[in-house]
């Protein structure tokens, strides 16, 4: 993650602290199986409290359930390390440019790739709408972009832009590519 993007992300995190906490803990749950997969809804409920307490128990005692400065910094630091490990997903530069925005109803051939990625992710995640893969940013495509923007804490405008694309690539990396890698590793030596 480059320096400028990290600063912008950190400013956004301070503006929505509970949603940011949930997002970081959710990302950490991809690496640490003991953490529950949280929904980033911005509500500090039972599941969020459970995740904080599990994090404290396993990685940053004492267990208080309170997200004080020390706990926040420990979560943020570990999350940053995980993000750097996953940042290889940004190598896929299929989205045209920083300024490109695909508005609802627009047609763009390169939208075929994100639409396909959403369809594959729909096998792993709830909330993704199945729709045609035609390169037209239609209702199903816009619904999926809204879903992703909401989950990532981005502005929910339904526009496929660079930030939304990067989050889609990260999700694809986590739920599809890593699962393939894990299943291949588990399979190695199986014919022995």
Per-residue pLDDT reduced to its tens digit, 89-108: 444 567 777 788 999 999 98
Domain chopping of the chain, boundaries:
3-90, 95-187
* Degrees, nearest 5: CA angle 100-12-9: 65
Residue-wise over 2-40: b if at least 16 C-beta within 10 A, else e? Answer: eeeeeeebeebbeeeeebbbbbbbbbbbbeeeebeebbb
Are the beta carbons of 60 and 74 closer than 8 angstroms? yes
Are the beta carbons of 79 and 28 closer than 8 angstroms? yes
With CA atoms as reference, report the closest residue to 53 among 27, 25, 80: 25
Average pLDDT over residues 15-29: 86
Does residue 171 carry a pLDDT above 80?
A: yes
Does residue 187 carry a pLDDT above 50?
A: no
Of the ranges 26-30, 55-59, 114-118, 181-185, which one carries the lowest mean pLDDT score? 181-185
User: What mean pLDDT, rounded, does the chain reach?
Assistant: 82
Give the pLDDT of residue 79. Answer: 87
Of the ranges 117-126, 128-137, 141-150, 178-187, which one carries the lowest mean pLDDT score? 178-187
Domain topology for 95-187:
Muramoyl-pentapeptide Carboxypeptidase; domain 1 (1.10.101)
Q: What is the 3-state secondary structure (H, E, C) of 86-104?
A: HHHHHHCCCCCCCCCEECC
pTM over 0.75, yes/no: no
Strand partners, 161: 101
């Amino acid at each position: 993650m480059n320096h400028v993007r990290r600063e912008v992300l950190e400013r956004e995190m301070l503006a929505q602290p509970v949603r940011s906490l949930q997002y970081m803990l959710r990302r950490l749950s991809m690496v640490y199986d003991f953490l529950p997969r949280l929904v980033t809804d911005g509500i500090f409920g039972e599941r969020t409290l459970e995740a904080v307490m599990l994090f404290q128990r396993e990685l940053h005692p004492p267990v208080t359930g309170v997200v004080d400065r020390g706990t926040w910094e420990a979560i943020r630091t570990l999350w940053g390390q995980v993000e750097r490990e996953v940042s290889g997903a940004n190598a896929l530069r299929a989205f045209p440019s920083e300024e490109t925005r695909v508005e609802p109803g627009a047609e763009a051939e390169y939208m075929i790739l994100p639409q396909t990625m959403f369809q594959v992710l729909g096998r792993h995640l709830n909330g993704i709408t199945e729709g045609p893969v035609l390169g037209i940013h239609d209702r199903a495509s816009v619904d999926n972009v809204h879903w992703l923007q909401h989950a990532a804490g981005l502005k929910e405008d339904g526009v496929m832009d660079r930030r939304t694309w990067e989050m889609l690539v990260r999700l694809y990396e986590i739920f599809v590519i890593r699962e393939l890698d894990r299943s291949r590793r588990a399979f190695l030596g199986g014919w022995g």
